[in-house]
Amino acid sequence: MKKVIMIGPASVSKGGIATVIANFEKTFSSNKVKIHYIASWKEGNPLFKLWMFVKAIMQLCYLAITQKIDIVHIHTSQKGSLYRKMIFINIAKLFRCKVMLHMHGSRFGIFYDKQPRFLQKTIVNHLDRLDHIIVLSDAWKAYYENLCDTPVTVMENAVEVPLSNPYTNTSKTIVTFGNVSQEKGSYDLLRAIQSLGAAYKEYEFIFYGIGDIPTAEAEIKQNNLTNVTLGGWVESNQKQNILENALLHILPSYHEALPMAVLETMAHGIPNISTNVGGIPQIIENQRNGLLIEPGEVTDLKQAIADLLDNEATRQEMSGKAHQAVQAKFSIDACNRKWEELYATI
């Protein structure tokens, strides 16, 4: 049996990486692979975060000394997350473990280009020491293959998919999941809602997530957007009810890998309006199971929302195709089988 150490944020933390790890903890089961989870980060004050990091290092060292570890599977994004994970790469290699780096960062290319030359070289040297790199889309596969010599495999995120489509086509609630920020297109969406005007006031738009809440609150108040609510962070026990009562999900991001929010909502048959970036076009087929626009195009975003709100039949058709698309390619069971096969090859 292959023994795998998985390192990343605690599964109860906020964010997409934590959701991916939580899905592993909840659903991955194999007679050929055993995963031990190490949490290297969790929300808290700086001293607590430092303790989580140091404790994770000690746990990795202890397990590597006392057991035969085959693979260390490390989740990371960019910036500080990557530099912290370099320490785990070096420790794992010191104990002659195979190392797999799972890249989730949607802005890695921008981050890398801004680094001084010596840090770029350090990053590439660490990437070249790896045994495998995991990415979320074909575009990122091409990027890393051009950057380093390590083998790269696309492994899409996965979600639990209801057996039957639970979509409620008569709902008046439109949701968006993710940090409230310019990068996620939050302010573009607020401007689009303002442009929709009084004709669509019966629909409530709820922004679920953390981020730049004061700026969003100020814009909502300034433009008298009475049908907009900031719903805060959603705990896992709240999400099911939200997903079963949402009419649309909107994520007009400027940068993405393969967002869990899009997969989770489509798994529940919710038509998505999103942007043609990252791995999103791998799951949303424009005009078939959702709508895609270019980032920053507020007029197009407003028109896309209006088009779906005005056409119940189109929503229903997209809903069925969205549910089917996720069930076919992004279900937990299908992806867990792919993970088992990949671990066996490393």
Q: What is the CATH number of the domain that holds 307?
A: 3.40.50.2000
Low-confidence ranges of the chain (pLDDT < 50): none
In angstroms, the CA 341 to CA 210 distance is 36
Q: Indicate whether 178 belongs to any domain.
A: yes
Q: Indicate whether 168 belongs to any domain.
A: no
Q: Indicate whether 163 belongs to any domain.
A: no
**Domain, as residue range, for 254:** 173-329
Asked whether residue 311 falls in the same domain as residue 337, the answer is no
In angstroms, the CA 287 to CA 321 distance is 11
Asked whether residue 178 falls in the same domain as residue 325, the answer is yes
Predicted pLDDT at 287? 97
Asked whether residue 124 falls in the same domain as residue 177, the answer is no
Predicted pLDDT at 124? 98
The answer to whether the CB of 194 falls within 8 A of the CB of 301 is no
Q: Indicate whether 64 belongs to any domain.
A: yes
In angstroms, the CA 126 to CA 105 distance is 16
pTM: 0.86
Tens digits of residue pLDDT in 173-230: 999 999 999 999 999 999 999 999 999 999 999 999 999 999 999 999 999 999 999 9
For residue 287, count CB atoms less than 10 angstroms from its CB and return exposed for 0-12, middle for 13-18, buried for 19 or more. exposed
Asked whether residue 152 falls in the same domain as residue 28, the answer is yes
Asked whether residue 42 falls in the same domain as residue 184, the answer is no
In angstroms, the CA 165 to CA 11 distance is 27
Asked whether residue 340 falls in the same domain as residue 245, the answer is no
**The total number of structural domains that make up the chain:** 2
For residue 245, count CB atoms less than 10 angstroms from its CB and return exposed for 0-12, middle for 13-18, buried for 19 or more. middle
Q: Indicate whether 166 belongs to any domain.
A: no
